[in-house]
C-alpha cells in the first residue's frame, strides 16, 4: 500500500505554495493565453475549412494557393510536419492535420463553405483592396451541427 506512507507537509511550505500558486495564476492570464493559442491555430489552418471568416481565409487562399492543397499532402509529409510542429516551444497540439477529420468536416460543411465563399467573393470583389480592414459587410457565420445537438452553447 504505497500510498499509505505518510509524508509530512510542513505548514510554512504549504502556505508558501498556496500563495505562490495564486500569484502564478494571476501572472498566467490563462484565458488570454488560450485565446491566443486558438487564434494561432485558426490562422495556421489546423481547423481546415470549418470556420469561414472571409477575410482571413481569403487572404490565406490568396497567399497559400488554396487550403485544399495543404490537406492533400501525403500522410508521411504530414507526420513530419506534425512532429516538427510538436517540437515548438510553447505550442504543442495533439493533432495538427488530422486528415480524416478535416475531410469529414469539409463534406459536412461543403454546403456552408460554398455559400460563404460566394459571399466573401462578392464582398472582396466590391472594389476594395484585399487586406483592407475597414468596414466590410457583416457576414453571418453558420455553424452546422449534425443530428440532435447535445450542446447548448450561447453565442
Partner 1 sequence: MAPRSKPKPGEPSSSDAAAPLLPERCIDHKNKNIRKEKWRELRLQKNKEKREARKKRQKVREELGKDAPPVLQPHTIETLRIPDVTTVQPDDLETQQADRLDEFGGYFGREAAPRVLLTAGDFPSPKTRDFMKELALVIPNTEVRLRNFSSVKKTARVAAAKGYTDLIFINEDKSKKVMANGLLHVHLPDGPSALYRLSNVKLSAEMRRIKEFTHHRPEVVLNNFTTMLGHRVGRMLASLFHFDPEFKGRRVMTLHNQRDYIFFRHHRYEFKNEKKCALRELGPRFTLKLRSLQKGTFDSKTGEYEWIRKRHEMEDSRRKFHL
Q: Please report how close the Cβ of residue 35 comes to partner 1 at its closest, in angstroms.
A: 5
Task: Count Cα atoms within 13 angstroms, Cβ side, for 55.
Answer: 11
- Which cell is 33 given? 493565453
Among 15, 18, 64, 114, binds partner 1 (CB under 8 A): 18
Please report whether residue 105 would count as binding partner 1 according to CB under 8 A. Answer: yes
Please report whether residue 74 would count as binding partner 1 according to CB under 8 A. Answer: no
How far is CA 78 from each of CA 37, 74, 93, rounded to the nearest angstrom? Answer: 21, 6, 14
Please report whether residue 89 would count as binding partner 1 according to CB under 8 A. Answer: yes
Q: Please report how close the Cβ of residue 33 comes to partner 1 at its closest, in angstroms.
A: 5
Please report whether residue 24 would count as binding partner 1 according to CB under 8 A. Answer: yes
- Which cell is 143 given? 455553424
Q: Which of residues 108-127 bind partner 1 (CB under 8 A)?
A: 108
- Helices 30-44 and 11-28 meet at what angle, rounded to 10? 40
Amino acid at each position: 500500500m504505497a500510498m499509505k506512507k505518510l509524508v509530512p507537509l510542513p505548514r510554512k511550505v504549504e502556505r508558501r505554495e498556496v500563495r505562490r500558486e495564486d500569484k502564478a495564476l494571476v501572472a498566467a492570464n490563462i484565458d488570454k493565453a488560450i485565446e491566443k493559442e486558438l487564434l494561432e491555430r485558426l490562422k495556421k489552418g489546423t481547423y481546415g475549412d470549418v470556420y469561414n471568416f472571409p477575410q482571413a481565409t481569403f487572404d490565406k487562399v490568396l497567399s497559400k494557393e488554396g487550403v485544399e492543397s495543404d490537406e492533400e499532402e501525403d500522410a508521411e509529409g504530414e507526420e513530419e510536419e506534425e512532429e516538427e510542429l510538436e517540437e515548438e516551444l510553447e505550442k504543442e497540439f495533439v493533432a495538427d492535420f488530422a486528415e480524416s477529420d478535416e475531410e469529414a468536416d469539409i463534406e459536412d460543411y461543403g454546403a456552408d463553405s460554398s455559400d460563404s465563399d460566394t459571399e466573401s467573393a462578392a464582398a472582396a470583389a466590391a472594389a476594395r483592396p484585399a487586406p483592407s480592414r475597414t468596414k466590410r459587410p457583416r457576414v453571418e457565420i453558420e455553424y452546422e451541427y449534425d443530428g440532435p445537438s447535445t450542446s447548448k452553447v450561447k453565442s
